[in-house]
Amino acid sequence: MSDAVISFRNFGFQYYSQSEPTLFDINLEIRRGEKVLIAGPSGCGKSTIGHCINGLIPNRYRGTITGELIIDGINTKNASLFDLSHKVGTVLQDSDGQFIGLTVGEDIAFALENDNVPLAEMQKKVSAIAKLVNMENHVSNNPHDLSGGQKQRCSMAGVMVDDVPILLFDEPLANLDPATGRTAIELIDALADEGKTVIIIEHRIEDVLHRHVDRIILVDEGRIIADCTPDHLLAEDLLTKHGIREPLYLTACRYADCRITEDMHPSSLSGFDVSSCRERLISWHEKNRHPAEEQEKKLLLNVDHVKFSYDGVVPVLQDISLNVYEGEMLSIVGKNGGGKSTLASVITGFQQNDAGTVTCEGKDLSQFSVSERAEYVGIVLQNPNQMISKTLIFDEIAFGLRVRGIPEAEVEKRVLEVMKVCGLSEFRKWPISALSYGQKKRVTIASILVLNPKILILDEPTAGQDYRHYSEIMEFLQELNKNGQTIILITHDMHLMLEYTKRAVVLCDGRILADEKAYEVLCDLPLTEKANLKETSLFELAEKAGIRDPLSFVETFIEYDRRYRSNEA
């Protein structure tokens, strides 16, 4: 049998600034050559486990350790980061932060440079590793010319160049679009075949399970909840209970009242034995399907033949035409770098379109300044830290009104109103630094809502959030939408577009590829491939179960799921 390469023994950890430990009594062994997924909701301690393995704890983050952790024979209590860097290679979530070199080659060589490897040997190793991750044609490119997926592959190369036995991936899917994420999982799997021990920290279970993993370790509130094979874990109802999303095809089976057992191999759809579920799925579909009613729509925003280029040479938006109707919540999806954010910048007036017009309620928006436009279109940036400039929540929300010179009495009235809508009333006196990420996000949304924009645009509103926080943010946005707020979401999260937006606009290479119902987009294989999306597993399930109209099955699921969730809430 292979021996344990990582072993936690009665391990616990408490951060210096926390009043409670983050990890309690962890006992865990990972054997050489194993491929393990550590899953859990945000704040459960899974990243802390990762920090312990790569030595950031206790070398960079202060705190108290109880018990012990042995990595390949070294007790981490006395090991320096440098010692551990030869054992564990870490690929961080943010591939921009990890990309230190000015070019791909330099970045891959970074660890070798630190080890004083001579130039000739370094060049040999770098070109060999670059080939392994399919980056051999990009060695002299700089990071700003690379896609997110390429940057991540470069990060992988950068840790493998040191020939470490253990590879640790911290949320490798967080910043990738669905298709790129799938390629990343395939690449990680290929690396695992070379005898490395691979640890993946992720909460997107369905996407990670695209390839086989040996074990899933489920963590919540600092403790290990489950440590078993994926099939075993998925047969139980543990994931949802602990705030993690289970694969959608399993949710569908549960809605149809199917019993899922370990021997049905629920961990991957291709191996999943649906024979016992077929009857129930078909009858559930027949019982619940009903055509969605079309509502009358009033035009709010019109983007007409808009063209845009940053440098006048490379077109970023080519002839974009788009209508947004009042009270709608729609998503703009597509490849990273396909022009989604640029389109938002043009609508908000951050960038001037080269041709075409943008009108809102019949008024041409080009006549307004950026700040005047904010009364028509408000935008919430992805990272709340990029928007917050005040210490107190009230002041932050009031900022936009105060700089407009609105009398203080009215400012107070409007801010309190918005705080109530956004569920922030009880935090009125709190400093912003004490808020969680999701709450900060609410503050930034509130600070835009207070200006009463006709349309609210959100750039990746749920990026980096686990299922629980994702649902919290999205339910909140849905509530706003129900009260009549028109919302545009820019995203590459397929769940988000499927579950919360009826309509999806697919943007790819600066053109609109499709403008249709969200579920139709995700059931259209050629389209999803072009736009770097992924076909939804619901569609595949329906086909597998022999349902005659798989598209309608997906639609039924979405409708049912919406009702189910709103009853839960």
Partner 1 sequence: MKLKLFSYNQLDTPIHRLSGFTKLVCFLFLTSAVMFTYDIRCILAITVMSYICMNVAKIRFSQVRLMFIYVLIFLATNFVLTFLFSPKYGVEIYGTEHDIFTIFGNYTLTQEQLFYQITKFSKYLSVIPLGMIFFLTTNPSEFASSLNGVGINYKACTSLSLTLRYFPDVSADYNAIKLAQQARGLDMSKKASVMSRLKNISAILAPLIFTTMDRIELISNAMDLRGFGKQKTRTWYARKPLTKADWLSMGVCLIILLAVMYVRFFVNRSFYYNPFI
Partner 2 sequence: MKNASTRTIVATGLGAALFLVLFMFVKIPSPVPETNLQIAYGVSGFFAALFGPVCGFLIAFIGHALNDFIAYGSPWWSWIVASGVCALITGISKGAVASKVEEGIFGFDEIKMFVIFTLIGQAAAWIVVAPILDIVIYGEPASLVFAQGVTAFIVDFITAAVVGCLLLKAYASTKTGKGTLSKE
Which 57-76 positions form the footprint of partner 1 (CB under 8 A)? 59-60
* Local structure of 350: helix, strand or coil: coil
- The dihedral of CA 71, 75, 76, 82: what is its sign? negative
Q: Tokens 């979401």 label which residue? A: 489
- Which of 20, 263, 296, 403 lies at the binding interface for partner 1 (CB under 8 A)? 403
Determine the interface stretch with partner 1 among 66-74, 197-205, 330-338, 393-401 (rule: CB under 8 A): 393-401
State the Cα torsion 466-468-471-476 to the nearest 10°.
-110
Which token pair is 230? 């994926």
Residue 208 class from Cβ within 10 Å (0-12 exposed, 13-18 middle, 19+ buried)? buried
Determine the interface stretch with partner 2 among 12-20, 167-175, 205-213, 305-313 (rule: CB under 8 A): 12-20
- Residue 382 Cβ vs partner 2, minimum distance, rounded to whole Å: 20
Q: Is 195 in the site for partner 2 (CB under 8 A)?
A: no
Q: Is 19 in the site for partner 2 (CB under 8 A)?
A: yes
- Which of 54, 180, 501, 528 lies at the binding interface for partner 1 (CB under 8 A)? 54
Which token pair is 224? 């290990």
Strands (E), 260-375: 299-309, 315-325, 329-333, 355-360, 363-364
User: Pairing state of beta strands 329-333 and 486-490?
Assistant: parallel
Q: Is 352 in the site for partner 2 (CB under 8 A)?
A: no
Determine the interface stretch with partner 2 among 16-24, 452-460, 467-475, 542-550 (rule: CB under 8 A): 16-24
Determine the interface stretch with partner 1 among 91-99, 200-208, 282-290, 541-549 (rule: CB under 8 A): 91-99
Determine the interface stretch with partner 2 among 4-12, 17-25, 278-286, 547-555 (rule: CB under 8 A): 17-25
* Angle of CA points 243, 33, 39, to nearest 5°: 5
480: amino acid identity, one letter: L
Determine the interface stretch with partner 2 among 10-18, 355-363, 481-489, 495-503 (rule: CB under 8 A): 10-18
Residues 521-546 as b or e (16 or more Cβ within 10 Å = b):
bbbbeebbebbbbbbbbbbbbbebbe
Which token pair is 108? 């891959």
Q: How far apart are CA 499 and CA 494, in angstroms?
A: 8
- Which of 1, 20, 144, 386 lies at the binding interface for partner 2 (CB under 8 A)? 20
Residue pair 6/38 in contact by the 8 Å Cβ criterion: no
- Residue 432 Cβ vs partner 1, minimum distance, rounded to whole Å: 10
For residues 447 and 556, which CB has a smaller minimum distance to partner 1 in the complex?
447
Query: Which option in partner 1, partner 2, none does residue 16 bind, with CB closer than 5 to 8 A by kind?
Result: partner 2
Q: Is 116 in the site for partner 2 (CB under 8 A)?
A: no
9-to-14, 24, 110, 165, 214 alpha-carbon distances in Å: 16, 11, 33, 21, 21
- Rounded to the nearest 10 degrees, the angle between the axes of helix 537-544 and helix 248-255 is 50
Residue pair 329/502 in contact by the 8 Å Cβ criterion: yes
Q: Is 371 in the site for partner 1 (CB under 8 A)?
A: yes
Query: Which option in partner 1, partner 2, none does residue 92 bind, with CB closer than 5 to 8 A by kind?
Result: partner 1
- Residue 486 Cβ vs partner 1, minimum distance, rounded to whole Å: 17
For residues 179 and 432, which CB has a smaller minimum distance to partner 2 in the complex?
432
Residue pair 303/332 in contact by the 8 Å Cβ criterion: no
- Residue 291 Cβ vs partner 1, minimum distance, rounded to whole Å: 40
Query: Which option in partner 1, partner 2, none does residue 118 bind, with CB closer than 5 to 8 A by kind?
Result: partner 1
567 C-beta neighbours (distance < 10 Å), count: 7
Query: Which option in partner 1, partner 2, none does residue 567 bind, with CB closer than 5 to 8 A by kind?
Result: none
Q: Is 171 in the site for partner 1 (CB under 8 A)?
A: no
Per-residue x/- track, 514-533, partner 2 (CB under 8 A): --------------------
- Residue 543 Cβ vs partner 1, minimum distance, rounded to whole Å: 43
Edge to edge, the sheet with strand 486-490 lists 377-380, 455-459, 486-490, 329-333, 503-508, 511-517
Per-residue x/- track, 257-286, partner 1 (CB under 8 A): ------------------------------
For residues 16 and 313, which CB has a smaller minimum distance to partner 2 in the complex?
16
Which token pair is 546? 């022999």
Residue pair 59/31 in contact by the 8 Å Cβ criterion: no
- Residue 320 Cβ vs partner 2, minimum distance, rounded to whole Å: 29
My answer on whether omega of the bond before 230 falls inside 30° of 0, hence cis, is no
379-438 binders of partner 2 (CB under 8 A): 391, 431, 433
For residues 350 and 564, which CB has a smaller minimum distance to partner 1 in the complex?
350
Determine the interface stretch with partner 1 among 121-129, 264-272, 482-490, 495-503 (rule: CB under 8 A): 121-129
Query: Which option in partner 1, partner 2, none does residue 54 bind, with CB closer than 5 to 8 A by kind?
Result: partner 1
Q: Is 275 in the site for partner 2 (CB under 8 A)?
A: no
Q: Tokens 């640890």 label which residue? A: 199
Q: Is 15 in the site for partner 1 (CB under 8 A)?
A: no
Q: How far apart are CA 324 and CA 360, in angstroms?
A: 9
Determine the interface stretch with partner 1 among 105-113, 270-278, 410-418, 512-520 (rule: CB under 8 A): 105-113
Determine the interface stretch with partner 1 among 63-71, 192-200, 356-364, 365-373 (rule: CB under 8 A): 365-373
- Which of 16, 270, 352, 367 lies at the binding interface for partner 2 (CB under 8 A)? 16
Query: Which option in partner 2, partner 1, none does residue 144 bind, with CB closer than 5 to 8 A by kind?
Result: partner 1
Query: Which option in partner 2, partner 1, none does residue 19 bind, with CB closer than 5 to 8 A by kind?
Result: partner 2
Instruction: Using alpha carbons, select from 491, 463, 497 the residue that is nearest to residue 204.
Output: 463
Which residues does 215 contact at the CB level (< 8 Å), separation at least 6? 34, 35, 36, 37, 227, 228, 229, 230
Residues lying near partner 2 in the complex (CB under 8 A) are found at 16-20, 391, 431, 433
